[in-house]
Amino acid sequence: MKMTPYSPLKWLFLSIAVLGAASCSQGSANGNPEDAIALEDAADEYERGPHRGRMLREGDFALELTIFEDGVDPEFRLFPYLNGVALAPSQVTAVIELTRLGGIVDRFEFTPRDDYLIGAGVVTEPHSFDVTVTARASGVNGRWQYESHEGRTTILREQADASGVVVAPAGPAMLSETVEVYGEVELMPEGRAELRGWLPGRVVALSASIGDTVRAGQTLARVTANDSLQTYSVTSPIDGVVIERRATLNAPTGDAPLYVIADPTQLHAELFIYPGDLAALAAGQRVTVASTMGDRSVETEIEFLSPMINPSSQRAIAHVEIPNEAGHWRPGERVTATIQVGTFEVPLAVRTDALQRFRDFTVVYARVDDTYEVRMLELGRQSRDWTEVLGGLRPGEVYVSENAFLITADVLKSGASHDH
């Protein structure tokens, strides 16, 4: 195939997928008709037998090969025929070898059962392999080879790299046990100050407006006391921004604050905790706070956990500090929080973002050279970053850890099959 230059994503989706194919030719290993080798081309529709299996023929001798998985683990079943008539399974010996991506070979020997021969062992997923069938009956030796691939595609390494496909070896990982909650950003008590006249009097000078940045100790108003007629200064106790100005020039000080100052760097998040989660939480636990849009996050920890339950909301409150030197967070905004309540190591895990759906399975894509193929997984515990693997992937096997959805798109575009 002649390759022409494309953008990285176009490269990816013009990759070659080999799915449900078979390639064969027919002949004799050494000119002996008893050692005929039948090689079928799986790009063409193959002949199906009475049990909807693949027909393999050598002269008057034929085998119908099926993978039976109705109510049982997938197993090979062979139905033998001679001159178009069912042959007693006891008169046939057969072996199937499956060569999987990466060179692993599964071997199945067969024993008679009812009107068929059954393979010893489970045909594990994925059902993607190069098949070699050897059989003998009535003095005829048959050998057939074909490809039966599913969930497999080939992408040149430079094309995959350009598209952002990243791989990693599967291995042990440290998983976090977490509690997910929501909350709201608030000013800390020390981040808000109300400025009042400390003696009743008349406001004779105002030097700040709403939105002005002020410094601790800066004079914002001057007041002439009613009793002494002396004028005193009202200063800001904190650095911050004027968020309210209630004072009016030449008006009495009154009971309301003259100014309200807020320091936007003095923030915490008030998290709302379900009573059922309280037993797992404690001050000092690590917390990841994120905006509801997911565009910002910060690592912090629980600094206070209330022992009280709010009777109306039926929630407890936890406080976590929100560093805000850059000013990205705003008091009043809603947030989500992930509280880490424990960690544990598992012997085999994959990145959670690497998980994809293929047929009815959760899968990752193994890579061998430039070929990618599904691995159906049995999963255990899961955290935001890692998912434990209990089966379906070998330790050290290289899998697509980032941008696996691109491989899924290429496999589906190629028409992944599950045909036997």
**Range with the lowest mean pLDDT among 41-55, 93-107, 164-178, 217-231?**
41-55
pLDDT tens for each residue of 360-393: 999 999 999 999 999 999 999 998 899 999 999 9
Output 420 or 21, whichever has higher pLDDT.
420
pLDDT of residue 25: 32
Give me the chain's average pLDDT, please: 88
pLDDT of residue 24: 35
Q: Maximum CA pair distance of the chain?
A: 127
- Amino acid of residue 311: P
Rounded distance between C-alpha atoms, residue 292 and residue 239, angstroms: 29
pLDDT tier at 285, thresholds 50, 70, 90: very high
The answer to whether the beta carbons of residues 76 and 65 sit under 8 Å apart is yes
What is the distance, to the nearest Å, from the Cα of residue 397 to the centroid of all Cα atoms in its chain? 18
pLDDT tier at 14, thresholds 50, 70, 90: very low
**Range with the lowest mean pLDDT among 13-17, 146-150, 248-252?**
13-17
Q: How far is CA 195 from CA 66, 243, 254, in A?
A: 85, 12, 12
pLDDT of residue 418: 58
pLDDT of residue 419: 58
pLDDT for residue 346 is more than 90: yes
Token duo for residue 376:
């159906």
pLDDT for residue 100 is more than 60: yes
Span 195-262: which CATH code? 2.40.50.100
pTM, rounded to two decimals? 0.65
pLDDT tier at 420, thresholds 50, 70, 90: low
pLDDT for residue 179 is more than 60: yes
pLDDT of residue 38: 40
Output 221 or 22, whichever has higher pLDDT.
221
Output 207 or 139, whichever has higher pLDDT.
207
What's domain 21-148's architecture?
Answer: Sandwich (2.60)
**Range with the lowest mean pLDDT among 24-33, 149-158, 283-292, 406-415?**
24-33
Residue located via tokens 């033998």: 80
Nearby residues of 383 by Cβ (< 8 Å), 6 or more positions away: 175, 176, 177, 178, 352
pLDDT tier at 23, thresholds 50, 70, 90: very low
pLDDT of residue 249: 96
According to CATH, the superfamily of the domain at 166-188+266-402 is Efflux pump adaptor protein, beta barrel domain (2.40.30.170)
pLDDT tier at 32, thresholds 50, 70, 90: very low
- The domains of the chain are located at 21-148, 166-188+266-402, 195-262
pLDDT of residue 139: 85
Rounded distance between C-alpha atoms, residue 46 and residue 60, angstroms: 18
Percent of the chain with pLDDT over 70: 88
pLDDT of residue 414: 73
Token duo for residue 333:
């905004």
Backbone angles phi, psi at 330, to 5 degrees: -125, 135
Nearby residues of 217 by Cβ (< 8 Å), 6 or more positions away: 235, 236
Q: How far is CA 112 from CA 62, 93, 95, 115, in A?
A: 16, 9, 13, 8
Rounded distance between C-alpha atoms, residue 197 and residue 71, angstroms: 83
